[in-house]
Amino acid sequence: MGRLCEICQQSRPALRRPKTGQQVCRECFFKAFEHEIHETIVNNRLFKKGDRVAVAASGGKDSTVLAHIMTLLNERHCYGLDLFLLSIDEGITGYRDDSLETVKRNEVQYGIPLKVLSYKTLYGWTMDDIVREIGRKNNCTFCGVFRRQALDRGAFMMKADKMATGHNADDIAETVLLNLLRGDIARPRAILDIIKSGEDFRIASTAKMPEQGVCKRCGYISSQEFCKACVLLEGLNRGLPRLGISRTRGSGKKAPVVIKEEGEKAETDKVTERISSISVEF
């Protein structure tokens, strides 16, 4: 007789959980996973009854699991959440168009409405257009910055109170390591804490947090006068796509960007109060 699941002691283990090191069977893994997420939601009071929650759905594995678990727990524990799927179409031929098909299937499978918002509609550029303009090297900066803001915008348009994303511990570690490699070593203690455990993430009371305000141009969340998305867009529209990403040689600092305040501010001044983002840990 081989090894048995360390929880039920009956079935054969199907996996070793990285989080606990336990070898567990499929059924016990599902139970533990669902239970832990429910506990996290309840103990941290992540939602209130009646909250409208945007489930950020890329069509990838993490957000598909997220859509599944949110609908399952909402029904099972009567959270009373008004869930919908929010998907951003970056306009990447052969990639996002395929995954959008998955999201459309999720809409039917989980019975919650889907809102798709494209970069083309929001910014006038698809990622394919941007790559043609800037090449392959720095296009991830545009994609990441625009996506983050597009999710905020979509959630606001759909009157969401909260947003759930499928970021996992690997994503957090990746962000931290990339920041380290880029020379952001100002917060080594906080970084070690995050790597040690995404779940125990705390911000030291002595840490100076950036002040959150709104972009003078588009009115969306920004800790700077103009948000990164507006700076990047300004560069694209002026035919200077490296504007927001170029660095002053040797200093490690971004080159200063001059951007004029113009146009109407979106009716989104309150967006910072309305939208808070949560991520569910797998």
Nearer to ligand ATP, 28 or 127 (CB): 127
Nearer to ligand ATP, 147 or 254 (CB): 147
- In the set 91, 166, 219, 235, which binds ligand ATP (CB under 6 A)? 166
How many Cα atoms sit within 13 Å of 275 on the Cβ side?
Answer: 28
Identify the burial level of 53 via C-beta atoms within 10 angstroms of its C-beta, where 0-12 means exposed, 13-18 middle and 19 or more buried.
buried
- In the set 5, 46, 162, 167, which binds ligand ATP (CB under 6 A)? 167
58 is in an annotated binding site: yes
Nearest approach, Cβ of residue 222 and ligand ATP (Å):
20
Number of residues that bind ligand ATP (CB under 6 A): 17
Nearest approach, Cβ of residue 36 and ligand ATP (Å):
18
Q: Residue 63, interface with ligand ATP (CB under 6 A)?
A: yes
Nearer to ligand ATP, 56 or 230 (CB): 56
Q: Residue 171, interface with ligand ATP (CB under 6 A)?
A: yes
Smallest CA-to-CA distance from 175 within 279, 66, 37, 70 is with 279
Which helix (H) or strand (E) is 82 found in, with range? strand 82-89
Identify the burial level of 113 via C-beta atoms within 10 angstroms of its C-beta, where 0-12 means exposed, 13-18 middle and 19 or more buried.
exposed
Q: Which 81-100 positions form the footprint of ligand ATP (CB under 6 A)?
A: 86-88, 90
Nearer to ligand ATP, 58 or 126 (CB): 58
Give the burial string for 250-260 (b: 16+ CB within 10 Å, else e).
Answer: eeeeeeebebe
Nearer to ligand ATP, 63 or 268 (CB): 63
Q: How far is CA 77 from the centre of its chain?
A: 25
DSSP of 221-249: EESSSS-HHHHHHHHHHTT-TTTTT-B-T
Give binding residues as ranges.
Answer: 56-58, 62, 88, 166, 171
Give binding residues for ATP as ranges.
Answer: 56-58, 62, 88, 166, 171
